Structure 1
């Protein structure tokens, strides 16, 4: 088998590994994300509980990055302190190390079982939770299959004459190997996936244990870099935890690398084979980070917070220039101008998503400072909307094609709907939060669970709508409109259950009845506005009849 064919097979196996990891993560997020978030918020105040919760969440999501961003948002909202948040994220890093350990076992028998059961569940029901559970099982099966494919694809590399030269060079240059691993992990956007690749290659005798451990340390640095980079658009308080995690993991990795180079300790105690030594070194490193990070978390987060606040004035000035993406020099080139508008609308989408996330957290834990911050976000949406409208009006109409005119109308309509969503959140739902806070009202457990499920569906549909706006993907647009129909049924069932509790005379249901029903109405209205973003795409392809989807040919 030629070298190019081997690389093609290996690339395909690695791509399947990345896709399967993402499939499991998104399945868990969609099915159980809100439940896991609520559980996490309740355990972050105790350091040991925070470590355990972070580890458990990382195992569920198969991603410590997702946990870092989630906890960062909690810190930014004032739900938990930065030090406790950093401890939870260090626990998540440890949890992702245990994921690597679990997946390093021989689980080949689970491949057909997981794929078959997952596919059967996904196809047998229309219930969202069960379909996502089936998606998770298929993802697990594909993940394990990808590891087998990596092993098979890398087998011919044993006969390669070039690979030993590369491995020998990297074994003698630990710094280069460390940096390559960090960059590759960042490109993979998954430390779990990269370390599993290293373990699989070590199992074939292609990478020695010493080099594998160096690459694991680089992967830990790359893993911290992923969350820090993804949080760069978040408010400074929300970035404290991801950047603190990067500092702790990065410094820890550098110290461990220096120790390996200078002292060259024996790895025999970590296991009898190279894969075991690599996996156990990864776990030991993250255990050491948790132990060292607990007493240092406060110091690190305070230093990061000061550094972020020092640049906050400059960052805020740049952030408040809503027209920064709306380059006046591009007005005579409609395609460039519309690309600029698309970038600006993406910024509006991100702000609206933050508003939708934060409003339900305020329902659960009202706080006047955070309520004021949410109202300020609506002002930002209004300013961006005004800037976008003015910019679109200034594009030279005589140079616009019919497609440009259509896209202009589509972006403007979407921006109007996004502004309306922001108005509903601040003028209606925020008013409900104030009423709930002033009167000291609480929802029944059943009522709150229903509202949370309804909100989770709206938030998921918001993300679908934003994707449709940018990608104009037909399948996603169809899914979004179908979700509108499902939302209608969910809203009807929720209202019916609420009235049944009223008939039974539940005291809390009586006290919060108007809040409950008004919130349902607001969420339904928001969902309708978001679903309408898909209409131009469907209409363009003849898939929309009135307000219903046409049957696809």
Structure 2
């Protein structure tokens, strides 16, 4: 084999291996769907369950790095507490052993039949769930095919005197081996991928067990480096979990090096019946198990450490601008990102409701602080409109199932309706400004009717946001009934206004404002109705 063929086999094989991991991960995530976010929100309150969820998520992502980035995103959005995140973090790190042991199994000769099964499910089966399973099977086969091709290229390198000299000296310079592992992980952006390639290299005799273990330790530290990069711009809570992630691997590496003699003895004993790539998987499993147990025992102490090292920054702002749940780190998991977008839509709806409340208070009480708050929150509603829409477009670019795509389209319509509700509340503020500047007075009857309309509109928007948040069809049906009442009210009060105008009990300018307020409140009801109809679909 020529040098060119060797390079092509190694580079091409690694590329197919990485593609297999990615395709396998995508298929697993599509199969799981929105369950990922549900598991994290529901089963992480107990530490042991949190560990199990972390293991499962790493299996789905085929990468602890991807799982950690997901945890960072959910902490950024206040979905997970630090205590919950620690247990998921431990599980995510332990979960990497599944992939490493999987690579350690010698089934490369069956890669092509496995790929064939995957292609059949992908191309000739029209049931979506089976197609996703086909994607998983295809990715699984591609993973081993890539390793097989890489191994063929490495066989030539193993004959090189210089290569053997370089790799055999790794154990003489421990720091160099660790740095090499960090570089490999940064190159592949996944410690699983780096260790998988390392197993193949070791299996060809290019590196001895002690040198390979040093690279393995460096690969683990490399995943912490990636997490540090990912946490830039994140919240204080997210930075705390990454701090603990770094502590996890630094402590684990230190303990492993201190106990290297007994650990090496166990692994060498296993070497009598296991190939070196399975010995590496065992070493990785021992590392994660020991470190995980220590972290579970000292969780309360670690929480205090993280809170003291990275302290909370307090804010006194009345209105916090910007999205709270949208995190670009979550886009790699479209189903989770879509769930976060829904949280942000609900928050946007809540802010629009508050805008209407402030506008109402300003209209009746002429309180300038309420006017300022209403205008600030309406500005925030507009800002969220743009941010959510842009985020949804980016989610679509990462791929959604048909069901998720339908949900995304519905959320975009809701965002538009909420933005219009904010606009109508802003119109009320402008109408109140006009009344104050021109010292307009309303009749007692007109004021009572306006109070009734405001109360009805506020009830409708509160109820529809609740219906959306809880997916409560009964609440959505209540909104439809109440909105019909609002329409009748608006017509009745409009007719009453014309009668008062005819009887000279109302002045023209005040009457025009009265009608405009009625119209804006009625339109708020219409947009709330649109949201309720989405919930009822």
TM-score of the aligned structures, taking structure 1 as reference length: 0.61
Q: Is 1:420 the equivalent of 2:351? A: no
Alignment-derived partner of residue 475 in structure 2? 511
Alignment-derived partner of residue 365 in structure 2? none
Q: 1:21 to 1:379 in 2, by over 3 A?
A: farther
Give the Cα separation in 1 of the matches to 2:378 and 2:194: 39
Which of structures 1 and 2 has the bigger CA Rg?
A: 2
Alignment-derived partner of residue 302 in structure 1? 304
Q: CA deviation at 1:280?
A: 0.5
Q: 1:460 to 1:195 in 2, by over 3 A?
A: farther
1:463 equivalent among 390, 395, 399: 395
Give the Cα separation in 2 of the matches to 1:480 and 1:52: 26
Alignment-derived partner of residue 344 in structure 1? none
Q: 1:486 to 1:77 in 2, by over 3 A?
A: closer
User: Quick check: 1:180–1:218 contact (8 Å CA) kept in 2?
Assistant: yes
Give the Cα separation in 2 of the matches to 1:380 and 1:255: 52
Alignment-derived partner of residue 213 in structure 2? 213
Alignment-derived partner of residue 54 in structure 2? 54
Give the Cα separation in 2 of the matches to 1:133 and 1:520: 40
Report matched runs for 1:40-439 at 5 Å.
Answer: 40-108=40-108, 110-124=110-124, 128-260=128-260, 267-272=267-272, 273-309=275-311, 350=328, 357-358=339-340, 360-361=342-343, 420-422=385-387
Bigger relative contact order, structure 1 or 2, given CA contacts below 8 A and separation 6+? Answer: 2
Give the Cα separation in 2 of the matches to 1:260 and 1:352: 38
Deviations along 1:103-124, one digit per CA (max 9) or x if unpaired, are 2112235423332232233223
- For structure 2, the residue ranges without an aligned partner over 5 or more in a row are 355-372, 414-470, 481-525
72-81 or 214-223, larger mean C-alpha shift: 72-81
Counting matched residue pairs gives 402
Q: 1:522 to 1:304 in 2, by over 3 A?
A: farther
Q: CA deviation at 1:128?
A: 5.0
Q: CA deviation at 1:15?
A: 1.6
SS state at 1:159 partner: coil
Report matched runs for 1:4-23 at 5 Å.
Answer: 4-23=4-23
Q: CA deviation at 1:35?
A: 0.8
Deviations along 1:327-377, one digit per CA (max 9) or x if unpaired, are xxxxxxxxxxxxxxxxxxxxx9949979964354589999x99x99xxx9x
Q: CA deviation at 1:380?
A: 11
User: Quick check: 2:476–2:533 contact (8 Å CA) kept in 1?
Assistant: no
User: Quick check: 2:157–2:163 contact (8 Å CA) kept in 1?
Assistant: yes
Q: CA deviation at 1:75?
A: 3.5
274-283 or 354-363, larger mean C-alpha shift: 354-363
SS state at 1:29 partner: helix
User: Quick check: 2:216–2:284 contact (8 Å CA) kept in 1?
Assistant: yes
Deviations along 1:208-230, one digit per CA (max 9) or x if unpaired, are 11111111111111122222322
Give the Cα separation in 1 of the matches to 2:176 and 2:529: 56
SS state at 1:45 partner: coil
Q: 1:174 to 1:351 in 2, by over 3 A?
A: closer
SS state at 1:234 partner: coil
Q: 1:126 to 1:64 in 2, by over 3 A?
A: same
Give the Cα separation in 1 of the matches to 2:196 and 2:54: 21
Deviations along 1:167-188, one digit per CA (max 9) or x if unpaired, are 1221210111111111211221
Alignment-derived partner of residue 26 in structure 2? 26
Give the Cα separation in 2 of the matches to 1:145 and 1:510: 53
- For structure 1, the residue ranges without an aligned partner over 5 or more in a row are 323-347, 386-415, 425-457, 468-475, 493-506, 526-553
Q: 1:33 to 1:288 in 2, by over 3 A?
A: farther
User: Quick check: 2:75–2:81 contact (8 Å CA) kept in 1?
Assistant: yes
Q: 1:155 to 1:269 in 2, by over 3 A?
A: same
Q: 1:258 to 1:123 in 2, by over 3 A?
A: same
User: Quick check: 1:24–1:135 contact (8 Å CA) kept in 2?
Assistant: yes
Q: 1:359 to 1:175 in 2, by over 3 A?
A: same
Give the Cα separation in 1 of the matches to 2:40 and 2:329: 24
Superposition CA RMSD, Å: 4.8
Q: CA deviation at 1:101?
A: 0.4
SS state at 1:267 partner: helix
Deviations along 1:426-450, one digit per CA (max 9) or x if unpaired, are xxxxxxxxxxxxxxxxxxxxxxxxx
Give the Cα separation in 1 of the matches to 2:330 and 2:195: 36
TM-score of the aligned structures, taking structure 2 as reference length: 0.62
Q: CA deviation at 1:197?
A: 1.0
Give the Cα separation in 2 of the matches to 1:194 and 1:171: 18
